[in-house]
Structure formats: structure tokens, C-alpha cells
Amino acid sequence: MNMSPLLHFSCRRITGALGLALTLWLAGCATSAPEPVTVISPPASTSPPPVSHIVSPPPPLDERPISLNPNASLGLTATTDIWERIRRGFAMPNLDDDFVRNREKWYASRPDYILRMTERSRPYLFHIVQELERRQMPTELALLPFIESAFNPYAVSSAKAAGMWQFMPATGKYFDLKQNLFHDERRDVLESTRAALDYLQKLYGMFGDWHLALAAYNWGEGSVGRALARNKAQGKPLTYSALNMPNETRYYVPKLQAVKNIVAQPEAFNTQLPLIQNHPFFKSVPIDRDMDVAVAVQLAGISLEDFKALNPSMNRPVILASSTPQVLLPWDNATTFEINLQNQAQQRLATWTAWQAPRTMKAEEAAALVDMNVAQLRSANGIPNNMMVKAGSTLLVHRKGQLDSDVSESIAANAQLALAPQIVLKRIMVTARKGDSLASLAARHGVSAANMIAWNKIKPNATLTAGQSLAVMVPFQSARTGTGAGAMARKRTTGAAHSKPGQASQTAKR
């Protein structure tokens, strides 16, 4: 698995606990190391606009406000450790079989892997536990992202599931996770958690059993429903363990159970859990003006790495107030950001804006229209060579001149970039047959009669004679560039041929 920059996230805030971290978490299959993921990083920004009167953040606080859910079963004493809070909310029936033993052994034998995952979860666990308690759901589910993505919000599976909860594009849209040019809410900390818990509640309502709900989260609700129907017809038990299911799903609930067991009794597995305190890690801060990410980082007094860890849904180096009305910042830095932002009331904070292509055009044409270097335009928008920008596409461009304004809500919400291969035409000569007309000859070669007239400079009512030669312009695919439709089709076919076994179940999942 490719690791995101979250590994070292805010380690400066942790006091003497990192050496204790020899714990758990698996995102791989039952018999091998976890499947690698792709880390997507937004393109680099240009130099941000200057900011002034920057207030430095205060030193980290040892204690921050503890926000407890009054409906949570935490007893009379508030916990200072998120692990104890999770333990007190365990509510799912335990699974006890050889698959669980297998996974416990797997985790215990990989302390380095466990440490990376545990540290990566630090910014997110408190919020997830809060949401589970608010919905009165079992707190074991706070451990599910360890199984799904190793708590990497930038994780992308081979089946294109994304985020720490691993939503497929279509399922994300079903649960109102917006996906456009500027951000992908499948990676958003708040929105993806909301959608995942919505989905889990829906599945529990369908099956009335948390183990079956989890199997459906992994395998798909239709697959679980059909497996239950087969068991019922055969007189077999209607339980998770009794189902005939793919190997991935067979190990899915045991993975979560093994993690739960280690969290419940770490000493029994000769391990210690690192201290993750029971208080909010981040705070939501409103944004009412477009702003470069680089500027937000400067105003908050944090690193780009830390900012991206809490705001992984952003695809571009600019924050659009119309579609991203808030950002998440470390608790100690949020106030600093708000003070510094007030001091920039008269300053422009964004060097980027959005522009829609009025027609299909080459990147060179688009760059000329927005007064931008074509190499910069390609880099900022991920436009390959020999590809054209289709009409209506939204491009990230420099903010200047007539383009010096915040991006509207309609453009931000619907921003998509559509590309098409650049078509090169070559002239060939064709021969008319007996009885041919302009229309029949044009149809035979896949062109229009109007084009035949223009290319050959003949009259619309011209009569063709057998053996007459006429010019036709046809698409030419250069072997060097490989950009035509045929080449693109071959690439898609090649990609499908190399799909890994088990991807179908992943696709069905989310």
C-alpha cells in the first residue's frame, strides 16, 4: 500500500506515547499483505498571494475540551483515552472461530504495519466515535476503516473505491457524496463518515444483524440477500458464518473481530495501544472567500502535509467557498487561522479561478484565451499531449483580468473536465462506382455530402461518373502518438485484462 503523508501527522502533539504503539489493523486479503493503493495528490500551486499580519499559533495544549455524548454508556467517569471510550460502546455479538484466530495472529506479527495504521487514525477516531454514539450504533464500527483502508483517506482500490471508507463512485453519488473537478467527498472526513454510517444503518435495517450488514458492506446487499435465500431454501442457518461467500467476505468480519479483541485486551496479545486522547482533534472553520491552499496553510501556521490530512477531498490547489464552505484544522490552529483571516479582509487570497471552455479546442487554444502558458495549463489540469478539451469543460486557470472573481456555485458544483483525442485528418482519393451519387459515395466512406462538396470544390448537384476520383479526408492515427479512438479502446481492453481476481465483489460492494 502506498502511504499518504499522514504517517507523521502532528506527532509533535503526542507526548511520550509513540514508543508504545505495537498494535493492529489489516486492510489486505486473508493470506497476503494488504493490496497497494494509489495516492492522489493535487497539482502544485503557483506562488500564493502575499499575506500580512500573520499571528503565530500558540504552543500545543496538553488538555483540550472534552466533548462527551450524554447518551453514550461511558459510566460516571469521563475517559481520557479514546480506546476506553470505544470499549465501553462495544455492542455487537462476538464471532469466535478459526478465521478470527488467523487474523489475530496476522496482526500481532506485524508491529510496524500496526504502528503506521494507528498513527494514521489519530486525527479521525474521536469524530467517528462521536457520530456512532450520536446514532446509538456499536462503537466497534469505528475500527472498520482499519480494515477498509488502513485509515488512509487517499486510498484508492483497484476497483476505484476511494477514501478511508472505500466508496465506489456510483454508491458515493447514491449517498450524496459529491465528486467533481475540485473535490471528491468520498475522501472527505466528515461527509464520507456520514455516508458510511448511513449505509451501515440501512444495511442493518435490511438484515437485522450486524455481521450480515458488514458482509453486505463488503460484498453487496444483493449478494448477501441471494446467499440468504439459498440457505433458506436448503434449510441452512441464516447467519453470517453459514453463508457461502467469497474468501474476501469470509475473512471480512473476522478481521474486524480480531481488531476488536486486541483493542479490548491488548495485554493478552502482548501489545500496547498508543495514547489517543478523548478530545476533538480538529475544528471546522467556515470559508467565505476563494483561497489558495497555500494561503490557508500559511494563515493556520501548519504544514501542507497536515492540511491535506484533514482536507483530503480537495483535488486542486484552491479552496472554492461556494462548494467548500468549511475546512478542518487542528484544534490549536483553528483560532490562529480565524484571526489571521480577519487581518486579510482587503487582500486577494486566491491566484486560481475556474473557466469553462466555450467549444472543443486544443490546449494551446485554451491557453491563449486565458493568457496562460500552455505547459502550466496542462500541468494544473492534467491534460495529456495530443488531447483536446471538450466544450463545457471546466479548467483551473490563473486569476487575472476578466477572470479575477470567485467561482460561482453552479460552476464549482458541476465542474468536470472532458477530453477527446486530437484528430488528425489525411487526404485520400476514392473512386466513384456506376450509379454513385455524392450522397452514396459520402455514406460509403463515413462522411457527409457537404464535406465531399467542400473538399472537391464541386457543385451540390454534380453528377458523378464511374471511375471518377474524388478526395476524402479521413482520421489518421499516428503510430507514434497513439492517441486515436482505436488506441484508447486498446488501452481500456488491456486494463480490463489485468484486473485482479475478486474485483467484481469490490465493485458490487460500494
Q: pLDDT by residue (tens digit) across 371-427?
A: 999 999 999 999 998 899 999 999 999 999 989 999 999 999 999 999 988 877 788
pLDDT digits (tens, 9 = 90+) for 285-324: 999 999 999 999 999 999 999 999 999 999 999 999 999 9
Among 8-12, 36-40, 46-50, the range of highest mean pLDDT: 46-50
Query: Which H, E and C letters describe 14-51, residue by residue?
Result: CCCCHHHECCCCCCCCCCCCCCCCCCCCCCCCCCCCCC
Q: Tell me: pLDDT of 41 over 60.
A: no
> Exposed (0-12), middle (13-18) or buried (19+): which is 256, by Cβ within 10 Å?
buried
| Catalytic residue selected from 148, 185, 191, 248 | 148
Q: Tell me: pLDDT of 33 over 60.
A: no
What value does the mean pLDDT take over residues 156-171? 96
pLDDT of residue 484: 38
Q: What is the strand order of the sheet 419-421 is part of?
A: 361-362, 387-389, 419-421
Which has more pLDDT, 264 or 44?
A: 264
Rounded Cα distance, 302 and 400, in Å: 28
Rounded Cα distance, 25 and 110, in Å: 9
Q: What is the DSSP letter of 13?
A: G
pLDDT of residue 403: 92
Q: Tell me: pLDDT of 508 over 70.
A: no
Q: Tell me: pLDDT of 149 over 80.
A: yes
Q: Which of 339-343, 480-484, 488-492 has the lowest mean pLDDT?
A: 488-492
Helix (H) or strand (E) holding 471: strand 469-476
Question: Which of 206, 221, 242 lies closest to 95 in space, CA to CA?
Answer: 242
Q: Are strands 291-292 and 352-356 parallel, antiparallel or unpaired?
A: unpaired
What value does the mean pLDDT take over residues 487-499? 35
pLDDT digits (tens, 9 = 90+) for 114-137: 788 888 999 999 999 999 999 999
Rounded Cα distance, 113 and 108, in Å: 10
Q: Tell me: pLDDT of 370 over 50.
A: yes
133 catalytic residue (yes or no): no
Question: Which of 176, 174, 163, 183 lies closest to 321 in space, CA to CA?
Answer: 183
Q: Tell me: pLDDT of 502 over 90.
A: no
What value does the mean pLDDT take over residues 142-148? 97
What value does the mean pLDDT take over residues 485-491? 36
pLDDT of residue 426: 84
pLDDT interval class at 475 (50, 70, 90): confident
What value does the mean pLDDT take over residues 152-170? 96
Q: How far is CA 33 from CA 22, 30, 108, 217, in A?
A: 18, 8, 14, 21
Joined together, the cell numbers standing for residue 476 give: 489518421
Rounded Cα distance, 186 and 142, in Å: 17
What's the one-letter identity of residue 450? A
pLDDT of residue 29: 37
Rg (CA), the chain: 28
Q: Which of 45-49, 184-188, 203-207, 303-307 has the lowest mean pLDDT?
A: 45-49
pLDDT of residue 57: 66
Domains annotated for the chain, with CATH where assigned, are 19-37+79-269 (1.10.530.10), 352-405 (3.10.350), 424-476 (3.10.350.10)
Rounded Cα distance, 156 and 10, in Å: 23
Q: Tell me: pLDDT of 37 over 80.
A: no
Joined together, the cell numbers standing for residue 250 give: 469470509
pLDDT of residue 487: 38
pLDDT interval class at 59 (50, 70, 90): low
Q: Which of 252-261, 291-300, 451-460 has the lowest mean pLDDT?
A: 451-460
pLDDT of residue 47: 64
pTM of the model: 0.74
Q: What percent of the chain has pLDDT over 90?
A: 66
What value does the mean pLDDT take over residues 208-226? 98
* Angle at 233 (CA atoms; ends 232, 238), nearest 5 degrees: 15
pLDDT of residue 417: 94
Q: Which of 158-172, 205-219, 311-325, 471-485 has the lowest mean pLDDT?
A: 471-485
Dihedral angle computed from the Cα positions of residues 500, 188, 17 and 117, in that order, rounded to the nearest 10 degrees: 0
Q: What percent of the chain has pLDDT over 70?
A: 78
